[in-house]
Amino acid sequence: MTDLTTTYLGLQLRSPLVASCGPLTGEIDSLQRLEEAGIGAVCLPSLYEEEIIAASLEVDRVLDAGAESFPEALNYFPDLADYDVGPDGHLRLVEDAKAKLSVPVIASVNASSPGGWTGYAGQLEDAGADAIELNIYRVAADPARTGAEVEQDCIDIVTEVRATLRVPLAVKIGPFFSSMAHMAHRVVGAGADGLVLFNRFYQPDLNLETLGVEPRVELSDSRDLRLPLRWIAILHGQVRASLAATSGVHTSADVAKVLLVGADVAMMTAALLRNGPGHVTALERELVAWMTEREYESVDQLRGSASQRGAENPSAFERSQYMKALTTYATQR
Ligand SMILES: Cc1cc2nc3c(=O)[nH]c(=O)nc-3n(C[C@H](O)[C@H](O)[C@H](O)COP(=O)(O)O)c2cc1C
């Protein structure tokens, strides 16, 4: 029997296959189908900083309007908890998922700046989340702000969210830091129990008819895995944190690769959207067959054996392969 169990953020998972935030983890029905198919854990869609801020602005506006026109109005405003403002739906989904699933449920908060709103992570925890994933997604467009300042903002968000939580915290970041390894260490130093590598940046497009900017969500394919693959290989054993691979996990070969370089879990959104929850069962079957053929008995045994520390040529994930790749291009075709 191949042992697929893995530990992620201190949580014991039956399998390293995890459903990352996305439409399929936003509905109880598809969450249950993912569990039936053998998923190891699920990460619910993010509660966005903007949703929290918009909701509290709306509540302030309503309260202010009422108070200005007739001060006694405040007396008969219903309890704010009764409003179906942004965060409530997320809190209910966490409660529902915890009631109906037995696999760990990770709730996500998506942030771009520090601020009082970070307390909402604690509410997701109170709703029953087994862990919180903090997605820091920002476009550093202000030319007046230095890289160090932008990085410090990220660290401040992690520190603020960490301070509100008792459950483990994973932090999902993008790859665009000048010194990725240093930043990874700082995020862990600020209290992250795990790193989710990497955020997929969606680039807006321009509509030539309307001249309007249009959001474009293009689903990943396996080629997108190379970036997380490299960085997980480099960071495995370097940071004292769980490592999750996201962006480009589609096939059982992709799963094997990220485990070999040191990931604790392989996360998927696009593959599950394209193939449905049943894809998890197929991936698990193929992974077990691959491991059996190569006499790996467990995910523990597999994990990290091809990371930078485990590799025969430790520099393979750094610069040396760059020159080789470019100079041998003609012979690869
Ligand atoms: C339609 C859609 C919705 C998503 N929603 C979220 C979200 O709410 N929070 C988040 O952190 N990531 C979100 N993501 C990003 C995914 O969790 C994942 O990191 C990304 O799609 C890369 O993984 P993949 O290659 O397996 O798709 C979303 C992705 C898609 C395609």
- Residue 109, pLDDT > 90, answer yes
> Domain locations in the chain?
6-332
Q: Which CATH architecture is the domain 6-332 placed in? A: Alpha-Beta Barrel (3.20)
Return the half-sphere exposure (C-beta side, CA atoms, 13 A cut-off) of residue 285. Answer: 6
Total-model pTM: 0.89
| Pocket perturbation via mutation, ligand 1, pick of 20, 39, 94 by most ligand atoms within 8 A of CB | 20
Are the CB atoms for 249 and 271 separated by under 8 Å? yes
Q: Which atom of ligand 1 is nearest to the CA of 250?
A: 26
Distance 98 CA to ligand 1 centre (A): 21
182-192 confidence digits (pLDDT tens): 999 999 999 99
Arithmetic mean of pLDDT over the chain = 88
Give pLDDT, residue 327.
73
- Residue 202, pLDDT > 90, answer no
Question: Who lines ligand 1 at CB under 6 A?
Answer: 20-23, 45-46, 108, 110, 135, 172, 200, 217, 219-220, 224, 246-249, 268-271
149-189 confidence digits (pLDDT tens): 999 999 999 999 999 999 999 999 999 899 999 999 999 99
CA-nearest residue for atom 3, ligand 1, is: 22
230-278 confidence digits (pLDDT tens): 999 999 999 999 999 999 999 999 999 999 999 999 999 999 999 999 9
Distance 24 CA to ligand 1 centre (A): 10
Helices (H) and strands (E) in the chain, counts: 13, 12
CA angle, 323 then 231 then 187, to 5°? 140
Distance 77 CA to ligand 1 centre (A): 38
Are the CB atoms for 271 and 250 separated by under 8 Å? yes
The mean pLDDT value for 317-325 works out to: 68
- Residue 221, pLDDT > 90, answer yes
Least confident of 168-172, 196-200, 222-226, 307-311: 307-311
The torsion angle over the Cα atoms of residues 30, 34, 37 and 42, rounded to 10 degrees, is -170
- In angstroms, rounded to a whole number, what is the distance separating the alpha carbons of residues 258 and 272? 17
| Pocket perturbation via mutation, ligand 1, pick of 200, 202, 227, 251 by most ligand atoms within 8 A of CB | 200
Give pLDDT, residue 307.
85
DSSP 186: H
Give pLDDT, residue 52.
74
| Pocket perturbation via mutation, ligand 1, pick of 269, 279, 283 by most ligand atoms within 8 A of CB | 269
Q: Is 187 left (phi over 0), alpha (psi -120 to 50) or beta?
A: alpha
- In angstroms, rounded to a whole number, what is the distance separating the alpha carbons of residues 217 and 203? 8
Distance 244 CA to ligand 1 centre (A): 14
| Pocket perturbation via mutation, ligand 1, pick of 17, 21, 197, 222 by most ligand atoms within 8 A of CB | 21
- Residue 147, pLDDT > 50, answer yes
The mean pLDDT value for 284-290 works out to: 98
Dig out the tokens for 159 from the structure. Answer: 């520190």
- In angstroms, rounded to a whole number, what is the distance separating the alpha carbons of residues 266 and 19? 8
